[in-house]
Every structure is written in C-alpha cells, then in structure tokens.
A and B are shown apart, each in its own frame.
Chain A
Amino acid sequence: GDSVTQMEGPVTLSEEAFLTINCTYTATGYPSLFWYVQYPGEGLQLLLKATKADDKGSNKGFEATYRKETTSFHLEKGSVQVSDSAVYFCALSEGSGYSTLTFGKGTMLLVSP
C-alpha cells in the first residue's frame, strides 16, 4: 500500500537558517503530493501541493519539488522565522473521487530567535 516517510524531529533552527525536511513516498500509481502545517493547538492547513512529476509547489516562502525518479518531495525554506515553528506533515493522494490522504508521521520544527 501507499506510505510516506519523513524525517523525525524535532528540527531545531535559529531564525534565518535554511530549512529542509525530507519526505519520500511509496505509491502504486501517480499520486499528488502535499505538505500540511499544524500550528500549536490548531488543525491542519494545506501549505503546498504538486500534482505531477517535476512540479514545484510553493507558498509562504516554502517550496517542494515532486521528484518521481527519487520518489521524494522535500520541503525547503531559505530563511525560517520563529512563526514557522509548527509540525509539518507530508502526504499523498492517489487521485480523485473518494481518494484518501496518506500521511507521514510529522516533523516538528522549532525556530529560536
């Protein structure tokens, strides 16, 4: 079945540092890939997505590129802020209809001033 593996946290960075959170996936078809973010005490928000190979999703300074050859979708940001402290989830979906999301276990990011 489908699965998503992402790096364990917490990831601890200083403000303005470069961020990478690794995500790899296993899927039977050609999934869409997502990053969700969860701020403390809140629900999950869609951060960015990519629907086919070589697509780059971007939002709020975060980027991730759909790499079919390495089955990866790593999240990056050039300069993190304290307000980026949250839990980040990588996820995939096999398609339309009632397709469900399969999530990684989440990576906590802590950014200090």
Chain B
Amino acid sequence: DAGITQSPRHKVTETGTPVTLRCHQTENHRYMYWYRQDPGHGLRLIHYSYGVKDTDKGEVSDGYSVSRSKTEDFLLTLESATSSQTSVYFCAIKTSGTNTGELFFGEGSRLTVL
C-alpha cells in the first residue's frame, strides 16, 4: 500500500462545469503523476510533478491543469469539462529510493461528463 487516496472516487458532472480531482499521499514522495485510462488507449499521462510547485505536461494535457502547493496533494483540474474528458483518472507516485521507474497507483476516480 503506497498510501494514495483519490477523491472523489466517482463524479457525474455537466459539460462546461469545473471539476477538481484530488490525489493525497501520506509518505512525502517527491514524484506524482496523473493518468487517464480509456478503452483502446491504455493509460496516458496528463501531467506530472517533481516537487512542490514543480509540474510539467504529459502527452494529453490539453484541457487540464494541475497544482501542487504541498508535497502530499496533487490536484487535477478540468476548467470546463467536456464529454471527451469522461474517463477514469489515476494518480500515481514514485516511491523514494526507487531508481527503476515503477509507479504505484491509486484506486482511480471515475468521471462522467454529460
């Protein structure tokens, strides 16, 4: 158990509304990631963070922003949700001392945009 909590676990919203997903970790790991999972696409990286206030874009970052104001929380925001952002979102962390690249994942947040 890597101590990752995602919230909310399920959310239904309407097109055009803002949505924020939260990833919380309890072990002060430096690197955190947001992925989305869609049928036929596997998991694709949205954004990642390598420290407080240090973030960068992944391959599918359009329409998403992130913030990391403290080590334990990594927030993913959809400023104006669209139906194409209906997906399952996974937060992941890289544990300290890991130099082989594996990530540990949260349970996921299922977002439906109507």
Bound form: Cα–Cα A92–B101 in Å: 8
Closest residue on chain B to residue A107 by CB atoms: B42
CB pair B42–A89 under 8 Å, yes or no, is yes
CB pair B100–A103 under 8 Å, yes or no, is no
Contact of B101 among A42, A93, A103 (CB under 8 A): A93
CB pair B42–A101 under 8 Å, yes or no, is no
Place the interface of chain B in its size category: 20 to 34
CB pair B42–A104 under 8 Å, yes or no, is yes
Bound form: Cα–Cα A49–B102 in Å: 8
Place the interface of chain A in its size category: 20 to 34
CB pair A95–B105 under 8 Å, yes or no, is no
CB neighbors of A among B11-55 (8 A)? 31, 33, 40-45, 48, 50
CB pair B101–A94 under 8 Å, yes or no, is yes
Closest residue on chain A to residue B104 by CB atoms: A46
Q: Is A25 an interface residue (CB 8 A)?
A: no
Q: Is A74 an interface residue (CB 8 A)?
A: no
CB pair A43–B107 under 8 Å, yes or no, is yes
Measured between beta carbons, the chain A residues less than 8 angstroms from B58 are 100
Given contacts A42-B108, A43-B105, 12 further A-B pairs with CB under 8 A are A32-B101, A44-B43, A44-B90, A45-B105, A46-B104, A92-B101, A93-B101, A97-B50, A100-B58, A101-B33, A101-B103, A103-B44
